[in-house]
Amino acid sequence: MYIYQCRLILHEPLFFATREIGRLYETGRYLHNYALTYAFRLAEAPWFNAGQVPRYQQELASLEAVYVTPALPEQVTFQLATFKYGEEQLHVEMQQAERNTPSFGRAKELAPESTFRCYVLSAQPMALPRWVRLGKWHSKVLVEAQEIKATLRRDDYVAACALNPLDVPPGVLRAFDIISMPPSSLVANARCSGEYYEIERGLGLPAGLRYTFLA
């Protein structure tokens, strides 16, 4: 197994709506592994989706030889951006209402120079892109990737990064903190048991990670 440690450095504000509180749209501190898989160009989605429904299972489940973990925040800061939009109230028959009232919203974004860490596991050597785009605004992100040596062991250990619990083999997770975010919650500070790739003493990644979806 080839394991690449990736440091992600934001060069532009990064926004995605992890939580909506009235007119405040808040970006979370973790980067989901689905988004990173698309950003690394390991999976593709059509530019136009008439149904506006994601197709993660169809587009990711076939990736058996490569896996991307969620990204753990190393050093992050936030910034607030205010935007103006119009509330276009339309009747069912598509006739415009009498008033179009402009309003304001605020987006809590991850600020430039924020850094994250994730891992890519691959059955074959691979070259990862130097630059990727993430989030609603397709923000520019620098990727510093390096191959690391890891030893396959079986014991209790602490996960080296956040994990998508759907992708972890059964019986591995023992204790963890839940990170609530769409499209599926993540776990952090996970204490695990079983077969794993040891990156540092007592620190590693579960063996057998693969994209898994609920039926």
Task: Residue 208: name the closest of 157, 172, 155, 158 by CA.
Answer: 172
Q: Which residues contact 5 (CB under 8 A, 6 or more apart)?
A: 117, 119, 145, 146, 147, 148, 199
Instruction: Give residue 122's pLDDT.
Output: 97
pLDDT for position 207: 97
**pTM for the structure as a whole:** 0.87
Domain residue spans in the chain? 2-148
In the chain (215 residues long), the average pLDDT of successive 10-residue segments reads 97 91 89 96 77 81 92 95 65 54 80 98 96 94 96 96 96 96 94 97 96 86
The per-residue pLDDT for 91 is 47
